[in-house]
């Protein structure tokens, strides 16, 4: 982990997350980016580097990200990059780029319109094309296998899963960007039918359209642009073996390794808030255990991915929400997590902190 | 101050229309293993893997880096996926270099590929909705505009095609090997997208390319062991919107800005004379003089004259695409990285029959989408080639 350049999040923006919008993806990005640069108090032209995260399969078009640069204001031409990954990884690329120290600001986005397609038909196409994709297992099916492994190992209960779902949707009532909110009774949730045994409807994320944008800056610039920047104290990501059958599904080793590489002291109990990309209720329980987070750490006060799941932006929203806890809510140290692939194959952990 | 970065390993597949003998994983592994062998490294030495490829719809596998993580030794490591349209191979090398230059990692594997035979690129370019112009159709108006603007004679395109195809005969990995290539043969080939004839167009290839990058210490160790590294003097990327009133797609501002950002980093003030050779992304013949001008290697309207005087031929004063270029091998996502890798091999003195005598400084470039994404690097045989 290099210690040279200090980098912080200074501003964020996001669209309301909705089941379906008729806005185009560049339209969503225009809103999110507009908010972010306005909060930062910079123009699009002043941004030194941009990096976007999006996915052609989600958008339903080849080169879909090319249209998105219209929302960046990439004129004069910009230092710009794009990852076919969640915006959280675009954030990672921007962090790496800012470490060079020759530029001062970066704008990162994540965007997706899952409503344009049927995720259960699209997602099997991200699996090994020879042995796994032909099975047609959708994300809910794969998640159910992981939930079953956790239940059978005695590490979680269906009641705990329902409690996660109820809590997420309850706190989401305070989040104007969330999509699924309300008061749900755990007993009633547990009485409902399975969608994919052992997952019930409440254990699943919604289908969401939305975009998120984050502005980063190097040390002096960050202090100039933001009263209380959210400093990136560490960030790292790890991949694991692709085939879920070859992994211990009752642990998220990659998440823990990423957190350690990002400098998290698992015994310090230092995290005030963790925003975890847990699209399925059991994933929150698993991630919490894998990271060794105690009861002290508040998990997903935004409602998390169970309240809004704009795929390709969901992870970046976690980073933005973790940053807000420092910038706006006076918290000291927060953690954001993002994931990609079947049963949490790839995981990214970003640790943010306030500094005097 | 960023960490100096060196290329110490290069590997590529034998590019073909159809690599039915290998899976996706087999294809990428072939290139990666060759790069590791070249670098005298094993999988355990690699700290992170950066994967690039063009649109996932080309093969019908979404986010294939998830599946390819295993084949590239990615389990337990960071695996990162770049996608910046046709420039992606170049962007992959640059993102990998950034991981070294920022001191996040010490040894990184950059890999890019395309297995075009698994799908239908033309179909995918239209997002499966049909009526795709294809890349040739999209770029033909820009090439016509260049011809009109520069007054270049029509044989310039044919000359580029013949030169690159002759160069490909010296490249053991090239896809197209047309032994009896001639101006007459190009000229008589069918018109595809006026002014581009069949033999002035890139093929559709399966292939992969891999590059191992390391820091100053790693580069020096390789040099001390008698394996010359290619030192990166600069990297640059630029993007601009593809369509708006007043945009010049023949000499895109992004191409100009990207080149000068790069030259500034590399200490280059006279690219035509300070750079010894270039690997430029030329999928259609006319793009060679167009990029020579847009990157200010040639004066405005003079790029085609460099071609006409054979200056860009192997043995000329400014050889371009001695590997045969994209015109001879086009695994799309890898096509950019191949440019970057071939340029590195030139300054390492490892280009075999394609070697440019005394090449010390080499330029590589890739572009994408509506000629609106640019990725470039300059590599050299030493960190201070200009003294």
B154 falls within a domain? no
Residues of A in contact with B236 (CB under 8 A): 79
CATH assignment of the domain containing A276: 3.40.47.10
- List A residues 223-282 in contact with B (Cβ-Cβ < 8 A): 236-243, 254, 257
**B276-323 pLDDT, tens digit each:** 999 999 999 999 999 999 999 999 999 999 999 999 999 999 999 999
Q: How many domains does chain A have?
A: 2
Contact yes or no for B98 and A236 at CB 8 A: no
Measure in Å the smallest separation between the Cα of B286 and chain A Cα atoms: 24
Same domain flag for A130 and A224: no
A356 inside 8 A of chain B by CB? no
B267 falls within a domain? no
Same domain flag for A215 and A184: no
B63 inside 8 A of chain A by CB? yes
Residues of B in contact with A93 (CB under 8 A): 80, 95, 98
| Six token digits for residue A128 | 């090994």
**B301-311 pLDDT, tens digit each:** 999 999 999 99
Residues of B in contact with A97 (CB under 8 A): 98, 102
Contact yes or no for B103 and A341 at CB 8 A: no
Closest to B272 measured CA to CA, from B281, B263, B264: B263
B368 falls within a domain? no
Please determine, for residue A2, whether its predicted confidence score (pLDDT) is greater than 70.
no
**DSSP track, B190-226:** PEEETTEEGGGB----EEEEEEEEEEHHHHHHHHHTT
A126 inside 8 A of chain B by CB? yes
pLDDT of residue B196: 97
B238 inside 8 A of chain A by CB? yes
A144 falls within a domain? yes
3-state secondary structure string across chain A = CCCCCCEEEEEEEECCCECCCCCCHHHHHHHHHHHHHHHHCCCHHHCCEEEEECCHHHHCCCCHHHHHHHHHCCCCCEEEEEECCCHHHHHHHHHHHHCCCCCCEEEEEEEEEHHHCCHHHHHHHHCCCCCCHHHCCCHHHHHHHHHHHHHHCCCCCHHHHHHHHHHHHHHHHHCCCCCCCCCCCHHHHHCCCEEECCEEHHHCCCCCEEEEEEEEEEHHHHHHHCCCCEEEEEEEEEECCCCHHHCCCCCCHHHHHHHHHCCCCCCCCCCCEEECCCCCHHHHHHHHHHHCCCCCCEECCCCHHHHCCCCCCHHHHHHHHHHHHHHCCCCCEEEEEEEECCCCCEEEEEEEECCC
Task: For residue B18, give its domain range.
Answer: 5-119+205-224
Measure in Å the smallest separation between the Cα of B375 and chain A Cα atoms: 10
Same domain flag for A259 and A165: yes
B254 inside 8 A of chain A by CB? yes
- Return the residue of B nearest to A95 by Cα: B102
Contact yes or no for A257 and B23 at CB 8 A: no
- List B residues 176-195 in contact with A (Cβ-Cβ < 8 A): none
A92 inside 8 A of chain B by CB? yes
Closest to A145 measured CA to CA, from A282, A270, A15: A282
Measure in Å the smallest separation between the Cα of A132 and chain B Cα atoms: 10
**A236-278 pLDDT, tens digit each:** 999 999 999 999 999 999 999 999 999 999 999 999 999 999 9
B294 inside 8 A of chain A by CB? no
Contact yes or no for A75 and B91 at CB 8 A: no
Measure in Å the smallest separation between the Cα of A179 and chain B Cα atoms: 26
CATH assignment of the domain containing B211: 3.40.47.10
pLDDT of residue A1: 44
Instruction: Compare CB distances from B56 to A83, A84, A345 and report the shortest one's residue.
Output: A84
Contact yes or no for B257 and A77 at CB 8 A: yes
B9 falls within a domain? yes
A214 falls within a domain? yes
B61 inside 8 A of chain A by CB? yes
B375 falls within a domain? no
Mutate to test the interface with B, among A60, A122, A242, A248 (most CBs of B within 10 A): A242
Q: pTM for the complete prediction?
A: 0.98
Same domain flag for A213 and A249: no
Task: For residue A199, give its domain range.
Answer: 123-203+233-353
A40 falls within a domain? yes
Same domain flag for A177 and A71: no
**A198-207 pLDDT, tens digit each:** 999 999 999 9
Measure in Å the smallest separation between the Cα of B76 and chain A Cα atoms: 5
**B169-197 pLDDT, tens digit each:** 999 999 999 999 999 999 999 999 999 99
Mean pLDDT (whole number) for A45-66: 94
pLDDT of residue B131: 59
B293 falls within a domain? no
Same domain flag for A78 and A170: no
Mean pLDDT (whole number) for A110-133: 92
B287 falls within a domain? no
Q: How many domains does chain B have?
A: 1
ipTM of the complex as predicted: 0.97
B43 falls within a domain? yes
SS3 B152: coil
Instruction: Compare CB distances from A77 to B2, B76, B239 and report the shortest one's residue.
Output: B239
A1 falls within a domain? no
A2 falls within a domain? no
**B201-215 pLDDT, tens digit each:** 999 999 999 999 999
Same domain flag for A144 and A92: no
B69 inside 8 A of chain A by CB? yes
Closest to B261 measured CA to CA, from B231, B295, B293, B289: B295
Contact yes or no for A83 and B80 at CB 8 A: yes
B79 inside 8 A of chain A by CB? yes
Mean pLDDT (whole number) for A187-197: 98
B103 inside 8 A of chain A by CB? yes
Contact yes or no for B242 and A66 at CB 8 A: yes
Mean confidence (pLDDT) of chain A: 96
Residues of B in contact with A232 (CB under 8 A): none
Q: Which residues on neighbouring strands pair with residue B115, listed in sequence order?
A: B206
**A217-245 pLDDT, tens digit each:** 999 999 999 999 999 999 999 999 999 99
Instruction: Compare CB distances from B102 to A65, A81, A96 and report the shortest one's residue.
Output: A96
A123 inside 8 A of chain B by CB? yes
B26 inside 8 A of chain A by CB? no
Please determine, for residue A58, whether its predicted confidence score (pLDDT) is greater than 70.
yes
Give the residues of chain B that fall short of pLDDT 50.
none
Residues of B in contact with A235 (CB under 8 A): none
Measure in Å the smallest separation between the Cα of A267 and chain B Cα atoms: 22
Measure in Å the smallest separation between the Cα of A175 and chain B Cα atoms: 31
Instruction: Compare CB distances from A80 to B74, B126, B237 and report the shortest one's residue.
Output: B237
């Amino acid at each position: 982990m290099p210690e040279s350049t200090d980098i912080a999040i200074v501003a964020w923006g996001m669209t309301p997350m909705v089941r379906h919008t008729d806005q185009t993806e560049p339209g969503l990005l225009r809103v999110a980016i507009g908010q972010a640069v306005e909060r930062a108090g910079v123009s699009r032209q002043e941004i030194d580097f941009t990096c976007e995260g999006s996915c052609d399969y989600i958008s339903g078009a080849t080169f879909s990200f090319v249209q998105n640069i219209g929302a960046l204001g990439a004129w004069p031409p910009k230092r710009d990059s794009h990852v076919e990954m969640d915006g959280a990884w675009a954030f990672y690329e921007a962090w790496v780029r800012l470490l060079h120290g020759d530029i001062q600001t970066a704008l990162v986005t994540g965007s997706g319109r899952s409503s344009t397609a049927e995720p259960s038909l699209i997602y099997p196409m991200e699996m090994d094309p020879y042995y796994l994709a032909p099975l047609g297992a959708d994300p809910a099916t794969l998640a159910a296998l992981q939930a079953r492994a956790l239940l059978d190992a005695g590490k979680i209960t269906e009641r705990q899963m329902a409690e996660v779902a109820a809590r997420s949707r309850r706190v989401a009532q305070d989040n104007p960007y969330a999509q699924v909110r309300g008061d749900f009774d755990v007993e009633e949730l547990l009485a409902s039918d399975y969608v994919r045994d052992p997952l019930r409807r409440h254990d699943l994320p919604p289908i969401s359209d939305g975009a998120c944008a984050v502005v980063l800056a190097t040390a002096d610039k960050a202090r100039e642009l933001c009263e209380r920047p959210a400093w990136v104290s560490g960030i790292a990501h790890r991949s694991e073996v692709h085939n879920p059958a070859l992994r211990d599904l009752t642990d998220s080793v990659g998440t823990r390794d990423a957190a350690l590489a990002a400098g998290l002291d698992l015994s310090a109990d230092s995290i005030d808030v963790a925003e975890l990309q847990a699209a399925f209720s059991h994933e929150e329980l698993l991630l919490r255990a894998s990271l060794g987070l105690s009861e002290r750490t508040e998990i997903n006060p935004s409602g998390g991915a169970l309240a809004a799941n704009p795929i390709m932006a969901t992870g970046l929203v976690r980073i933005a929400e973790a940053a807000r806890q420092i910038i706006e809510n006076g918290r000291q140290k927060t953690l954001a997590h993002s994931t990609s692939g079947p049963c949490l194959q790839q995981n990214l952990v970003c640790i943010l902190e306030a500094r005097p | 101050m960023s960490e100096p970065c060196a290329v110490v390993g290069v590997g590529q597949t034998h590019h073909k229309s159809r690599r039915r003998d290998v899976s996706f994983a087999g294809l990428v592994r072939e290139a990666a293993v060759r790069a590791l062998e070249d670098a005298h490294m094993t999988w355990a030495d690699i700290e992170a893997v950066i994967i690039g490829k063009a649109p996932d719809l080309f093969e019908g596998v979404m986010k294939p880096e998830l599946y390819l993580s295993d084949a590239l030794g990615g389990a337990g490591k960071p695996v990162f996926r770049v996608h910046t349209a046709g420039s992606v191979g170049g962007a992959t090398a640059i993102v990998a270099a950034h991981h070294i230059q920022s001191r996040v990692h010490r040894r990184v594997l950059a890999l890019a590929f395309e297995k075009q035979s698994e799908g239908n690129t033309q179909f995918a370019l239209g997002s499966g909705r049909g009526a795709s112009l294809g890349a040739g159709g999209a770029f033909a108006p820009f090439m016509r505009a260049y011809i009109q603007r520069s007054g270049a004679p029509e044989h310039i395109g044919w000359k580029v095609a013949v030169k690159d195809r002759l160069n490909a005969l010296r490249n053991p990995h090239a896809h197209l090997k047309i032994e009896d290539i001639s101006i007459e043969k190009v000229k008589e080939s069918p018109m595809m997208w006026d002014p581009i004839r069949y033999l002035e167009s890139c093929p559709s290839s399966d292939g992969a390319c891999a590059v191992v990058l390391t820091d100053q210490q790693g580069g020096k160790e390789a040099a001390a062991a008698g394996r010359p590294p290619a030192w990166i003097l600069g990297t640059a990327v630029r993007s601009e919107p593809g369509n708006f009133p007043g945009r010049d797609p023949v000499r895109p501002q992004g191409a100009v800005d990207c080149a000068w950002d790069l030259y500034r980093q590399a200490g280059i003030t006279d690219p035509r004379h300070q750079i010894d050779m270039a690997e430029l992304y030329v999928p259609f013949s006319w793009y060679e003089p167009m990029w020579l001008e847009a990157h200010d290697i040639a004066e405005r309207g003079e790029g085609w004259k460099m071609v006409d005087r054979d200056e860009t031929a192997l043995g000329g004063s400014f050889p371009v695409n001695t590997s045969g270029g994209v015109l001879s091998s086009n695994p799309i996502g890898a096509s950019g990285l191949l440019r970057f890798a071939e340029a590195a091999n030139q300054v390492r003195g490892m280009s075999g029959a394609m070697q440019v005598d005394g090449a010390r400084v080499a330029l590589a470039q890739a572009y994408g989408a509506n000629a609106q994404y640019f990725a470039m690097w300059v590599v050299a045989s030493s960190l201070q080639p200009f003294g």
